[in-house]
Amino acid sequence: MRGMGIVRMMEHDFRNFFRYKWWLVGLISMNLADLFIMAIVYNNMLDKTISAEIGGYFKFFAPGLAVTGLFASAFMIGREINMERRREVHHYMLSLPMTRFELAMGRVLSGGLRGMFYMSPLLATCFIFLGLPSFGQLLLILLVLFFLATGISGLSIAIAVSTSSLEKFITARGLVYYTLFFCSSVFYPLSLIQELGATGRFPSFLVTLAEINPLSSASDMIRSFLLPYPTFSWTMVINVVIFSVVFTFCAVFAYMKIIERH
Amino acid sequence: MSQIALFGLIASRLVSVPNYFQYYVSGLSVMTLYSAAVFIGFDIYEEAEHGVFEYLLSLPVTRRQLVLGRSIGGGLRAFIYVGPLIGVSLYVIGAINPLNFLVALFSLFLFAFGVSGLSITIAVMIKSSDRFDILMGILDALIVRLSTAMYPLAIVQASNPVYGWLTNFNPVTFVADLFRWGTGIDSAYFLLDNPLLPLLGVVAFFSFFTFLGVIIYERRIEGGGWQ
């Protein structure tokens, strides 16, 4: 049946995901330590003006943390694909009775779904402390996060198939990770980055990157439904959708073309 | 470096702590040193997986020399890795008192050796890379966050007395405070009245994990059982 290959690939990748259960437990511990230690301490040393604007660092950071967890877990698929390529497991993958498109799309989607699965306890923690959104808002949050996770999975796969060694993949991952996280509103409000940019203390291209960054858009969209800051805008949703479509396409194309060449 | 340039710069505007950028940069050096020194444990698992362990055991050195060499080697390479970051810290922080800085540098060395010893001790005790991975992840999450690497002690104590108490006895706190003292960061939030106490703390940490590492390594190194 057409499309079953995608489901089979997703099942395969989900099985692999649970092989890393210890690693995932460690990652969740770190995420929770960030929230229950770091965010609580930062809450007490926050600038008063900023505190009044965002309503406390703990509440501000909780949605950002869900996005952080989503990113880390959705990006894991790239490491697996890079390893498969190095160990030449991709020859076996290519021999499976499914089309190249099903193989590639299945991997991008499973990376995204794994991200959603891992992120769900972090999002639930966020709802416990910040309150529940309306049903419509919850659906929009889940949809946008799924698009974001798929885009991250796509980005990770595109990097994985374009890099020949684990070291190169890890270097590229570090570069992407730090740029996307620190140039976003995950840890601090976007208005602060814009203010620094306006006074010339922060390069304007990095301010623009922070504004269009899908991690900023997703974090701020959750905040807009649960906190008084910032105001919801459809641009947040559009940013994430564009990011997702672009990187899903790139990943599928790169996976289909590059993997056959080796 | 990007953490300094991006997170450090923006976070310094986010908080009301004076000179937070300098504070953060110095703390980041210590956090990175910790993470780099921990890596020796992962190397031990890789050696066990590839059969290098048997080769090491066949070398004409005692078990004691082997673990001491590994601990010092792990600490030194972590120090080399963090060297450029320490250079950047010095550039950002500016003026230093050479004598104080030498004491701080010595404490960083001891700390790196101690963390390597800790990593080796845990690795050979549990002999399972999965368990090691999770334990080091949790330890990293707690030891770095419950320290003064990112925030002053007074604020941690004000946030939660239990966190404050734990932070007070953390080797990362000792070495971060000594590094700030050595580089001469000046602020009411991080005054160090008596550098001898954290220095003794770092020496105790180093001694405990290096010598515990030697004993445990000697007992557990043979007999396989690596997972």
What's the per-residue H, E or C state across A223-245? HHHHCCCCCCCHHHHHHHHHHHH
How many CB atoms sit inside 10 A of residue B168's CB?
Answer: 16
Q: Please indicate whether, in this complex, the C-beta atoms of B10 and A196 are within 8 angstroms of each other.
A: yes
| CA pseudo-torsion sign A151, A156, A161, A162 | positive
In chain B, the residue whose alpha carbon lies closest to the alpha carbon of A186 is B7
Cβ atoms of A144 and A218 closer than 8 Å: yes
CA distance A188 to A162: 32
Give the pLDDT band of residue B186 (cuts 50, 70, 90): low
Compute the nearest-CA separation of A99 from chain B (Å): 35
Q: Taking 70 as the threshold, does the pLDDT of residue A216 lie above it?
A: yes
Tell me, what's the pLDDT at A94?
Answer: 80
Tell me, what's the pLDDT at A218?
Answer: 95
Tell me, what's the pLDDT at A222?
Answer: 95
Containing domain of residue A108, as a range?
Answer: 4-261
Give the contacts of A8 (CB within 8 A, at least 6 positions apart). A96, A98, A106
In chain B, the residue whose alpha carbon lies closest to the alpha carbon of A20 is B130
Tell me, what's the pLDDT at B203?
Answer: 92
**Amino acid in position B130:** D
For residue B222, the SS3 value is coil
Return the structure tokens found at B31. Answer: 């956090």
Percent of chain B scored above 70 by pLDDT?
92
Across residues A225-246, what is the average pLDDT? 92
Any idea which residue has 């922080």 for tokens? B93
Q: Taking 90 as the threshold, does the pLDDT of residue A213 lie above it?
A: yes
Beta bridge partners of B15: A46
The more confident residue out of B4 and A74 is A74
**Amino acid in position A12:** H
Across residues B162-168, what is the average pLDDT? 92
> Cα angle at A101 between A96 and A105, to 5 degrees?
100
Return the structure tokens found at A183. Answer: 């140039």
CA dihedral B45, B48, B53, B55 (to 10 degrees): -130
Q: Which residues of A touch B (CB under 8 A)?
A: 22-23, 25-27, 29-30, 32-34, 37-38, 40-48, 50, 178-179, 182-183, 187-188, 192-193, 195-196, 201-202, 206
How many CB atoms sit inside 10 A of residue A256's CB?
Answer: 17
Tell me, what's the pLDDT at A75?
Answer: 87
- Judging contacts by C-beta atoms under 8 Å, the chain A residues touching residue B7 are 182, 187
Compute the nearest-CA separation of B51 from chain A (Å): 19
Of A241-245, B39-43, B90-94, B119-123, least confident by mean pLDDT is B90-94
Tell me, what's the pLDDT at B224?
Answer: 62
Q: Does the ipTM surpass 0.85?
A: no
CA distance B84 to A202: 23
Tell me, what's the pLDDT at A151?
Answer: 94
Return the structure tokens found at B95. Answer: 């003026």
Q: Taking 80 as the threshold, does the pLDDT of residue B173 lie above it?
A: yes
Give helix then strand counts, H and E, for chain A: 13, 0
Q: Taking 90 as the threshold, does the pLDDT of residue A24 lie above it?
A: no
| CA pseudo-torsion sign B225, B127, A13, A252 | negative
Compute the nearest-CA separation of A12 from chain B (Å): 21
Give the pLDDT band of residue A16 (cuts 50, 70, 90): confident
Q: For A179-193, how does the pLDDT look when each residue is reduced to its tens digit (9 = 90+)?
A: 898 889 999 999 889
Cβ atoms of B2 and A182 closer than 8 Å: yes
Across residues B131-143, what is the average pLDDT? 81
Cβ atoms of B93 and B183 closer than 8 Å: yes
Which residue in A29, A182, A206 is closest to B7 by CB distance?
Answer: A182
Q: Is A199 exposed, middle or buried (0-12, 13-18, 19+ CB in 10 A)?
A: exposed
DSSP code of residue B224: -
Give the pLDDT band of residue A98 (cuts 50, 70, 90): confident
Which residue in B131, B160, B163 is closest to A22 by CB distance?
Answer: B131
Tell me, what's the pLDDT at B148?
Answer: 92
CA distance B165 to B171: 13
Q: Please write down the HEC assignment for all residues of A206-227.
A: HHHHHHHCHHHHHHHHHHHHHC
- Judging contacts by C-beta atoms under 8 Å, the chain A residues touching residue B17 are 45
Which residue in B3, B138, B146 is closest to A178 by CB distance?
Answer: B3
Which of A58-67, A85-94, B87-96 has the highest average model confidence (pLDDT)?
Answer: A58-67
Beta strand segments in chain A, E: none
Compute the nearest-CA separation of B145 from chain A (Å): 6
In chain A, the residue whose alpha carbon lies closest to the alpha carbon of B140 is A30
In chain A, the residue whose alpha carbon lies closest to the alpha carbon of B137 is A26
Return the structure tokens found at B209. Answer: 């994990």
CA distance A39 to B151: 11
Across residues B154-168, what is the average pLDDT? 91
CA distance B143 to B151: 13
Q: Please indicate whether, in this complex, the C-beta atoms of A178 and B136 are within 8 angstroms of each other.
A: no
Q: For A153-177, how does the pLDDT look when each residue is reduced to its tens digit (9 = 90+)?
A: 999 999 988 887 777 887 888 888 8
Residue ranges covered by each domain of chain B: 20-220
- What is the Cα gyration radius of chain B? 18
The long-range contacts involving A228-233, CB below 8 angstroms and separated by at least 24 positions, are A228/A55, A229/A53, A229/A54, A229/A55, A229/A60, A229/A189, A230/A189, A230/A190, A230/A191
B191: left (phi over 0), alpha (psi -120 to 50) or beta: beta
Q: Please indicate whether, in this complex, the C-beta atoms of B2 and A178 are within 8 angstroms of each other.
A: yes
DSSP B130-155: HHHHHHHHHHHHHHHHTSSSSS-HHH
Look at chain A and report how many structural domains it folds into.
Answer: 1
Any idea which residue has 């006074």 for tokens? A199
Any idea which residue has 């996307």 for tokens? A180
Q: For B25-78, how does the pLDDT look when each residue is reduced to its tens digit (9 = 90+)?
A: 888 889 989 988 888 888 887 777 777 777 877 888 887 788 788 878 888 888
